Amino acid sequence: MDPRPVLHELATRYALSPAATQQLHALAARPYEPANLRRILPLGIALLAAALAGLGVVFWVAANWDGLGRSSKFALLQSLLVLFCVAAMLAPRARVPLGLLAFLCIGGLFAFFGQTYQTGADAWQLFALWAALALPLCLGVRHDALWTPWALIVMTAVTLWLHAHIGFGWQRRAGTLPYHLAAWIASLLLASALSPLFARHTGAGIWSLRTALSCASVLLTASALDFLFDHPAIALPYCLALALLGAAAWAFSSARLHDTFALSALGLSINVMLVALLVRCLFDGGGGDRIPELIVTGIAAAALLATTVHLVLGQSKRQVQGEGA
């Protein structure tokens, strides 16, 4: 599309002088470069190269797996781990991609250990050990490229731990509330640890926080809805989960922790839980014509969503105005 007719129309409409018209054409033709492109692009290419290199190593090991003995396989995986850790120490410019490769090697080593010896340990224990052993690496590298997968590993361990104690398929048994509550608190503590409150110590950025908070929101919402629809009365765990989500939303609306994505994720979870409560109240009972209940549910969901969007955008505008002042 040729922008010159549009620029000419703008110049005519606002009666721009020849000098202003020429400046307008110059601004329209200027190839603007994103502010962080020179910093982000090399790092992104390095991370992509690290991922491709890691895949190449995995494929090579897989192609020659049958020809290697058990000791050779362990020696190979451990050597790669040590190699990447030492290289990350000696090459500061490539520390992030090399650290990511070392992080993945720890997981591969534990996976092979679990498949080889069949120790009978629960899956959550392997993920927990992976997270524990990778924590010093993440603290040393201090970058979101490691903290983000680390958050996923921790949340996987928390979820598998919960499943191991409450049964398969989110089955509820008597006395499962302490396990749910422990998993909820652990997930929210993880998000707090990766928040700007501790960024000076961890070096974690915004993406690891958003990953942890999104996983925590899904965990709280899914397990609380299970209590809501599988209980004769409005269960206490549902109220506790809703209170925790509300407290988290209040915390991340503060000036120090404010993040629009975090507020949106928490607001969506709260909306889902409130709409589910309305559905439980409206549809609990006999059958018959459910059209009025469906209409009320749709209107209430739309109103809740509009209110949440209004509150989140208003808080974001106040945050921007506060930073500008």
pLDDT, one tens digit per residue, over 141-200 is 898 889 999 999 999 999 999 888 876 555 555 577 888 889 999 999 999 999 888 888
Is 37 part of any domain? no
Compare 15 and 213 and report the one with higher pLDDT: 213
Residue 205 placed within a domain: yes
- Copy the structure tokens of residue 281: 């109240």
Here the tokens at position 70 are 């058990």
Tokens describing residue 34: 């994103």
Query: Which of the two residues, 42 and 322, has the higher pLDDT score?
Result: 42
- Of the residues 89, 120, 151, which one is the last residue of a structural domain? 120
Q: Cite the beta strand spans of 91-227 per DSSP E.
A: none
- At 33 the pLDDT is 56
Same domain as 28, residue 142 = no
Q: Write the CA distances from 120 to 28, 124, 126, 261, 301, integer angstroms.
A: 65, 12, 11, 40, 46
Q: What is the mean pLDDT of residues 231-248?
A: 82
Q: Is residue 1 over pLDDT 60? A: no
> Which of 58, 87, 120 finishes a domain?
120
Residue 74's alpha-carbon distances to 52, 112, 187, in angstroms, are 22, 8, 33
| 62 and 21 within one domain | no
Q: Going by C-beta distance under 8 Å and a sequence separation of 6 or more, which residues neighbour residue 306?
A: none
% of the chain residues with pLDDT over 90: 25
Mean pLDDT across the stretch 316-324?
Answer: 71
Reply yes or no on whether the pLDDT at 309 is more than 60: yes
Summarize the confidence of residues 56-82 as an average pLDDT: 75
* Residue 192 lies inside a defined structural domain of this protein: yes
Give yes or no: residues 53 and 146 share one domain.
Answer: no
Lowest mean pLDDT among 96-110, 201-215, 281-295: 281-295
Question: What is the rounded average pLDDT of the residues 263-268?
Answer: 92
**230 and 315 assigned to the same domain:** yes
Say yes or no: 25 and 94 in one domain.
Answer: no
Residue 116 shares a structural domain with residue 127: no
Residue 27: its pLDDT value, please? Answer: 66
Report pLDDT for 215. Answer: 93
85 lies in a domain?
A: yes
CB atoms within 10 A of CB 262: 25
C-alpha span between 95 and 81 (Å, rounded): 14
What confidence category does residue 234 fall into, taking pLDDT thresholds of 50, 70 and 90?
low
Residue span of the structural domain in which 160 resides = 123-325
Clarify whether residues 152 and 107 are in a common domain.
Answer: no
| Length of the chain, in residues | 325
Using CA atoms, how far apart are residues 281 and 308, in angstroms rounded to an integer? Answer: 22
Higher pLDDT, 151 or 114: 151
Judgement on whether residues 28 and 48 belong to the same structural domain of the protein: no
pLDDT at 37 over 80: no
User: Is residue 16 classed as helix, strand or coil in its secondary structure?
Assistant: coil
DSSP string, 192-211: HHTSGGGHHHH---HHHHHH
Domain co-membership, 191 together with 277: yes
Q: Which residues contact 62 (CB under 8 A, 6 or more apart)?
A: none
Average pLDDT score, the chain: 82
Domain count, the chain: 3
Co-location of 113 and 157 in the same domain:
no
Give the model's pLDDT for residue 245: 92
**Average of per-residue pLDDT across 62-72:** 71
CB within 8 Å of 184: residues ≥ 6 apart: 216, 219, 220, 223, 240, 241, 244
- Average pLDDT (10-31) is 73
Tell me the whole-structure pTM to 2 decimals: 0.78
Place of tokens 């929210």: 188
Closest to 130 measured CA to CA, from 101, 94, 97, 106: 106
For residues 70 and 204, membership in a common domain is answered with no
